[in-house]
Amino acid sequence: MLLLLLIVVVSISVSFICSILEAVLLSLTPSFISQQKIDNPTLYPKLKKLRDKIDRPLAAILTLNTIAHTVGAAGVGAQVTHLYGSAYLGIASAVMTILILILSEIIPKVLGAKYWRRLSPILPTILNPMIILLAPFIWMSDLIMRLIGNSKDDANFRQEIKSLAGLAKELKAIEPKEQQVISNILDLDEVDLTTIMTPRVVTASIKPTITIEELKNLIDQNQFSRYPILDDDENPLGVFFRHDLVDLINSHDSLLEFAEKPPLVLPDSISAKSAFRKLLDEKQHLAFIYDEYGSWLGIITLEDILEKIIGEEIVDETDIVPDMRLLAKKRWEIRRKS
């Protein structure tokens, strides 16, 4: 009787450990492992190694778990038959199945999934010796996987991040605005420049031949910080800064001497993400947008892209209207009806 109880306890205990290790291992997230670089530098490489080659620890866990179930069931069956006869074998099998299901499957996996962060430090301590001990079985598993062929996970990680942000918002871990910013950043590669740029019809552009008085009036009317300079054929020549007006008035130099050159020119075919990267790389705040035929469409600024990211207009005391694209549409409607 003592041997029967010992077989049951050992079998279920080993299976319990295997199940909880499996749940913890599969619950590890890349972000949690990366965080260990700061929180626990010693643990980080150990967890990363287990996660990067997850087939090996999983093979060790499942092998030992299967051995525990098989040997346990065989041992219990043999002992019950020896002690009570074959008539009780069916009852013993049913009881053993229930014990395995509850004590070595459901409970440990629930615990592992719930407390995986706290239990993660024990993974290397237990799994590394298991991998060494069960090396022949792991080798056979690796061989079979190589024959079958490992398929890389081509899941849409961007969509997963957006889903996680949505879940975090529902759990009130982040604010709705923060979730919106995360989603907008990930969608930036799909945003058409023409949908967020300032259209040419509402752009306060200037000619290099503009007089000082005309320039002063234009700046007073618009209060923009930058003014694109174009020639008569709408070729970009540079960008004039409002704060250079006083220096321009006091000097005898031409307008182009104060212009930011060379101007940054972008095609309308690139995404907002590419434009953002280009503006940052070139250390520019403004770029001219042209279509495939060389027609000037408008300008894009860092502010336009940032507004798209945060999901609202950035309005300060110098802004005449909040949305220049809306103003452009209104002006077009007026011209169309006239």
d(CA 229, CA 210) in angstroms, rounded, equals 10
Do 140 and 214 fall within a single domain? Answer: no
> What is the residue whose two structure tokens read 């740029």?
197
- Which token pair is 190? 């799909």
Lowest pLDDT segment from 101-105, 138-142, 324-328 = 324-328
Which domain covers residue 105, as residue numbers? 2-148
Position 10 scores a pLDDT of 92
Position 323 scores a pLDDT of 55
* Number of Cβ atoms within 10 Å of the Cβ of 17: 19
The torsion angle over the Cα atoms of residues 136, 141, 144 and 145, rounded to 10 degrees, is: -140
Arithmetic mean of pLDDT over the chain: 85
Question: Would you mind telling me the total number of residues written for the chain in this entry?
Answer: 338
- What angle in degrees, to the nearest 10, is found between the helix axes of 30-39 and 43-52? 160
SS (H, E, C) the chain: CHHHHHHHHHHHHHHHHHHHHHHHHHHCCHHHHHHHHHHCCCHHHHHHHHHHCCHHHHHHHHHHHHHHHHHHHHHHHHHHHHHHCHHHHHHHHHHHHHHHHHHHHHHHHHHHHHCHHHHCCHHHHHHHHHHHHCHHHHHHHHHHHHHHCCCCCCCCHHHHHHHHHHHHHHCCCCCHHHHHHHHHHHHHHHCEHHHCCEEHHHCCCECCCCCHHHHHHHHHHHCCCEEEEECCCCCEEEEEEHHHHHHHHHCCCCHHHHCECCCCEEECCCEHHHHHHHHHHCCCCEEEEECCCCCEEEEEEHHHHHHHHHCCCCCCCCCCCCCHHHHHHHHHHHHHHC
Do 105 and 45 fall within a single domain? Answer: yes
CA 283 to the chain's CA centroid:
26
End-to-end CA distance of the chain: 102
Do 169 and 254 fall within a single domain? Answer: no
61 burial level (CB within 10 Å; 0-12, 13-18, 19+): buried
Position 331 scores a pLDDT of 53
Do 115 and 177 fall within a single domain? Answer: no
Position 155 scores a pLDDT of 44
Say if residue 319's pLDDT is above 80. Answer: no
* Number of Cβ atoms within 10 Å of the Cβ of 10: 14
Parallel, antiparallel, or unpaired for β 286-290 and 265-267? Answer: parallel
Q: What is the pTM of this model?
A: 0.57
> What is the residue whose two structure tokens read 């031949």?
209
* Selected residue with higher pLDDT from 316 and 75: 75
Do 96 and 61 fall within a single domain? Answer: yes
Return the closest-CA partner of residue 229 out of 198, 260, 199, 253. Answer: 260
> Nearest 5°: phi and psi at 294?
85, 15
Do 96 and 212 fall within a single domain? Answer: no
Specify the number of domains making up the chain. Answer: 3
- Which token pair is 337? 């009806």
Average pLDDT of span 256-267 = 84
Do 248 and 134 fall within a single domain? Answer: no
Position 330 scores a pLDDT of 60
Position 140 scores a pLDDT of 85
Position 154 scores a pLDDT of 42
Say if residue 338's pLDDT is above 70. Answer: no
- Which token pair is 280? 């940052």
Do 114 and 230 fall within a single domain? Answer: no
Say if residue 34's pLDDT is above 50. Answer: yes
For residues 224 and 285, is the Cβ–Cβ distance under 8 A?
no
Do 64 and 143 fall within a single domain? Answer: yes
> Where does a domain end: 82, 116, 148?
148
- Which token pair is 189? 């590669």
CATH number at residue 256: 3.10.580.10
Position 288 scores a pLDDT of 93
Position 107 scores a pLDDT of 94
Do 132 and 249 fall within a single domain? Answer: no
Average pLDDT of span 44-65 = 91
Do 200 and 77 fall within a single domain? Answer: no
Do 202 and 329 fall within a single domain? Answer: yes
Task: Give 275-313 pLDDT, tens digit per residue.
Answer: 999 999 999 989 999 998 889 999 999 988 998 998 877
d(CA 167, CA 170) in angstroms, rounded, equals 5
- Which token pair is 267? 């095609």
